[in-house]
Amino acid sequence: MSDEIDLKDLPGVGEKTAEKLKDEGYKDLMSIAAASSGEISGKTSIGESTAKKIIGAARNELEMGFDTASKVYEEKDDITQISTNSDKIDELIGGGIETQTISEVYGGYGSGKSQMAFQLSVNVQKEEGEGGLGKGCVFIDTENTFSPERVKEIAENHDMDPDEVLDNIYVARAYNSDHQMVLANEADEILEEQEIGLVVVDSLTGQFRADYTGRGDLAERQQKLNRHLHDLQRLAEVHNVAVFISNQVMSKPDVMFGDPTEAIGGHILHHAAAFRMYLRKGKGDTRICKLVDSPYKPEGEAPFKITEEGIVDK
């Protein structure tokens, strides 16, 4: 989809017509595609039937409109999955975290969010059919908690060459929320040049929380977060990579019933992440992964534990 072609290059539009359109504020293809023929002919001296053709051409150029479900299904064919290493969690979420999609994990302190991120950054490097994509990882570390030692340990326990595994993880530390956003955009270049299958942002919200603390900052924070998520979704789609984000939960002591925790970012994240997993500690060394949102899997829970091997079934 390109919005960059000059209006006069649209079939049926000469320089003069393009000028007329621009004078009335139709500066790009989308504004024309979204207009009605009556509107255009009313505002300009362009006749209604010509306007209709121009609108059609703009819509064609933008490849707008409906696809049949079978075409959508075919495109989904490109989607591949990375195993979480726990069969039960994989089963719960439909095979693993998916490319072209944002998957979110949220939970309290020490619930295993970063551990899951480390596991995935190792697993993505396994071959296809073995839970991986045979590709590397981009890791945006916003809390300074990326642990090469732990990644090494997981890799060794999977009979992988630990140094090679570390070599295939591109880590960047984000110093504040703006920097984090810049890094997400810079990741574009690495994704262009390297074989990458996974982008991790651990955590998505920490820096935003620190940078926008006042009540009045809330709207701006949500706006920025929204843009950041939009950028990440774009990365996922354009490069067919999985995006995995973590999110600390905020305690809400005033909530008397139900779960007193809520993911930061609220409804914005709710809509942005297709898959949402909630991690919590259970009895003993058991942990629970709850699938909260998925486009096609029912809600459910899977027990797991964290060992030297990483995330494993309980």
Ligand X SMILES: Nc1ncnc2c1ncn2[C@@H]1O[C@H](COP(=O)(O)OP(=O)(O)OP(=O)(O)O)[C@@H](O)[C@H]1O
265 counts as binding ligand X under rule CB under 6 A: no
The interface with ligand X within residues 137-166 (CB under 6 A) comprises 145, 150, 153
308 binds, among ligand X, Mg ion, none (CB under 5 to 8 A by kind): ligand X
By C-beta, is 145 or 240 nearer to ligand X?
145
What is the rounded distance in angstroms from the CA atom of residue 131 to the CA atom of residue 240? 16
**Minimal distance, residue 248 CB to Mg ion, in Å:** 8
By C-beta, is 82 or 151 nearer to ligand X?
151
123 binds, among ligand X, Mg ion, none (CB under 5 to 8 A by kind): none
By C-beta, is 115 or 177 nearer to ligand X?
115
By C-beta, is 10 or 279 nearer to Mg ion?
279
Tell me, by CB under 6 A, how many residues bind ligand X: 15
- Bridge partners for 278 per DSSP: 106, 290
308 counts as binding ligand X under rule CB under 6 A: yes
**Minimal distance, residue 206 CB to ligand X, in Å:** 8
By C-beta, is 237 or 308 nearer to ligand X?
308
* Contact with ligand X (CB under 6 A) among 66, 109, 257, 296: 109
- The residues that touch Mg ion, with contacts defined as CB under 5 A, are 113-114, 145
Task: Lay out the site mask for ligand X across 226-255 (x = CB under 6 A, - = otherwise).
Answer: ----------------------x-------
The two beta strands, 275-281 and 102-107, are parallel
**Minimal distance, residue 298 CB to Mg ion, in Å:** 28
Assign 3-class secondary structure to the chain: CCCCCCHHHCCCCCHHHHHHHHHCCCCCHHHHHCCCHHHHHHHCCCCHHHHHHHHHHHHHHCCCCCCCHHHHHHHHCCCCEECCCCHHHHHHHCCCEECCCEEEEEECCCCCHHHHHHHHHHHCCCCCCCCCCCCEEEEEECCCCCCHHHHHHHHHCCCCCHHHHHHCEEEEECCCHHHHHHHHHHHHHHHHHCCEEEEEEECCCHHHHHHCCCHHHHHHHHHHHHHHHHHHHHHHHHHCCEEEEEEEEEECCCCCCCCCEEECCHHHHHHHCCEEEEEEECCCCCEEEEEEECCCCCCEEEEEEEECCEEEEC
109 binds, among ligand X, Mg ion, none (CB under 5 to 8 A by kind): ligand X
20 counts as binding ligand X under rule CB under 6 A: no
Binding span for ligand X by CB under 6 A among 59-67, 107-115, 229-237, 250-258: 107-115
By C-beta, is 13 or 117 nearer to ligand X?
117
Looking at this protein, which amino acid is placed at residue 52? K
- What are the residues binding ligand X (CB under 6 A)? 107, 109-115, 145, 150, 153, 248, 306-308
